[in-house]
């Protein structure tokens, strides 16, 4: 089977989709149930079918999986083999107090590198808005080690800060509805209509771009995955250890607490809490961690 060509999945519609063999044009492809259902970004081995199409023979091992929660809060894989998740926030609509940290924790749990983007940078930040805290601390996230970019689709800085962060990589944009993800994608992928039309012609059935996860080529190399509404239902429940691991500055002290199951709250001998008291961990980050922990547990 290893002599079969490998291809990248550009879009998947249940039992079929569109793939691209390296150096070739996109082609339609069938997904065999016994092989499993590939998703956008998968690398697959394919073989020619009798009707001139192709069929997936094998899904190659994934470096990582990007998931969304369905209406019942259950995680579902929508994309694979990502290098970066671009988390977009904006002054309008303002995020809730803990939304950005919740997204970042989820990205860390998927073992993908996050990028924090403040879009609509031309707008003032309303200090009274619930999301004023994280929006006003964007540069603090950079100091914590996150890649950060400010963008605007109305004028400077445009996408000049973001484009280099996604070039030559496979990335996906996430964020709440209305923060301007679609506008950013159109700025980053100027020929998006041409690429969408090419995929539509391959299937002959249209592409349903408002609901379908699709992979686009970036002009300077790399790929951008658009998954409309990817986190509109919210996020799945995480283990307490995953939440703590989602705060990278905690890592030097994780595993050093007196109790193995320490929640890093009020337990005696907590190395993380001691680091907060010494100023080695920012107090507002630890407070955000505790709120996320409580929210996660109340979600049942």
Q: How many domains, the chain?
A: 3
Of the three residues 59, 87, 104, the one that is the final residue of a domain is 59
Tens of pLDDT, residue by residue over 219-243, are 989 999 998 777 765 678 888 999 9
| 219 shares its domain with 83 | yes
| 40 shares its domain with 122 | no
pLDDT at 287: 96
Quickly count helices (H) and strands (E) in the chain: 9, 13
| 78 shares its domain with 207 | yes
Residue with tokens 């100023």: 279
Of residues 3, 5, 30, 10, the one with CA closest to residue 217: 10
- Residue 300 pLDDT > 60, yes or no? no
* From 2-16, 40-54, 192-206, the region with the lowest mean pLDDT: 192-206
| 246 shares its domain with 207 | no
CATH of residue 219's domain is: 3.40.50.300
- DSSP single-letter state for residue 96: P
Q: Is 232 part of any domain?
A: no
Of residues 99, 91, 89, the one with CA closest to residue 127: 91
| 69 shares its domain with 55 | no
| 244 shares its domain with 294 | yes
Q: Is 105 part of any domain?
A: yes
- Residue 2 pLDDT > 50, yes or no? yes
Of the three residues 40, 59, 78, the one that is the final residue of a domain is 59
Q: What is the CA radius of gyration of the chain?
A: 21
C-alpha 214/C-alpha 14 separation (Å) is 13
CATH of residue 21's domain is: 2.40.50.140
Mean pLDDT of all residues in 152-175: 95
Mean pLDDT of all residues in 20-32: 87
Q: Is 235 part of any domain?
A: no
* Res. 206 pLDDT band, cuts 50 70 90: low
Mean pLDDT of all residues in 280-300: 90
| 83 shares its domain with 218 | yes
Of residues 295, 241, 299, 239, the one with CA closest to residue 272: 241
| 162 shares its domain with 197 | yes
| 84 shares its domain with 55 | no
Residue 232's contacts (CB-CB under 8 Å, 6 or more residues apart) are 176, 177
Percentage above 70 pLDDT, the chain: 93
- Residues 281, 275 contacting (CB under 8 angstroms): yes
pLDDT at 229: 73
| 54 shares its domain with 79 | no
- Token readout for 183 is 């506008």
| 100 shares its domain with 218 | yes
pLDDT at 298: 78
* From 135-139, 226-230, 243-247, 277-281, the region with the lowest mean pLDDT: 226-230
- Residue 1 pLDDT > 50, yes or no? no
- Residue 292 pLDDT > 80, yes or no? yes
- C-alpha 69, offset from chain centre: 13
CB atoms < 10 A from the CB of 218, how many?
A: 18
CATH of residue 247's domain is: 1.10.40.50
Mean pLDDT of all residues in 82-98: 93
CB atoms < 10 A from the CB of 147, how many?
A: 18
3-class SS of residue 177? coil
| 218 shares its domain with 291 | no
pLDDT at 255: 94
Of the three residues 59, 83, 99, the one that is the final residue of a domain is 59
pLDDT at 207: 52
Percentage above 90 pLDDT, the chain: 64
- Residues 106, 238 contacting (CB under 8 angstroms): yes
Domain coverage including residue 211: 65-226
Mean pLDDT across the chain = 89
């Amino acid at each position: 089977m290893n002599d079969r060509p490998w291809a990248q999945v550009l879009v998947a519609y249940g039992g079929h989709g569109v793939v691209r063999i390296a150096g070739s044009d996109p082609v339609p492809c069938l997904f065999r149930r016994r092989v499993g259902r590939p998703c956008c970004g998968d690398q697959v081995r394919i073989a020619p079918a009798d009707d001139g199409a192709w069929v997936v023979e094998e899904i190659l091992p994934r470096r990582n999986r990007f998931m969304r929660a369905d209406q019942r809060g259950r995680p579902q894989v929508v994309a694979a083999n990502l290098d970066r998740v671009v988390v977009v926030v904006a002054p309008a609509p303002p995020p809730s107090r803990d939304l950005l940290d919740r997204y970042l924790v989820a990205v860390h749990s998927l073992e993908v590198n996050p990028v924090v983007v403040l879009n609509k940078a031309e707008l003032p930040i309303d200090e009274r808005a619930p999301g004023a805290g994280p929006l006003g601390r964007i540069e603090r996230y950079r100091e914590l080690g996150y890649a950060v970019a400010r963008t605007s689709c109305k004028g400077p800085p445009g996408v000049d800060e973001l484009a280099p962060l996604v070039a030559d990589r496979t990335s996906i944009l996430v964020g709440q509805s209305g923060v301007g993800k679609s506008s950013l994608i159109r700025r980053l992928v100027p020929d998006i209509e041409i690429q969408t039309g090419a995929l539509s012609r391959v299937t002959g059935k249209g592409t349903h771009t408002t609901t379908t996860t699709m992979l686009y080529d970036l002009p300077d190399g790399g790929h951008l995955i658009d998954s409309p509404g990817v986190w509109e239902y919210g996020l799945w429940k995480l283990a307490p250890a995953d939440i703590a691991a989602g705060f990278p500055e905690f890592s030097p002290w994780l595993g050093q607490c007196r109790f193995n199951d320490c929640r890093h709250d009020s337990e005696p001998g907590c190395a993380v809490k001691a680091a907060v008291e010494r100023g080695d961990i920012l107090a507002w980050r630890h407070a955000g961690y505790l709120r996320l922990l409580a929210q996660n547990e109340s979600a049942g």
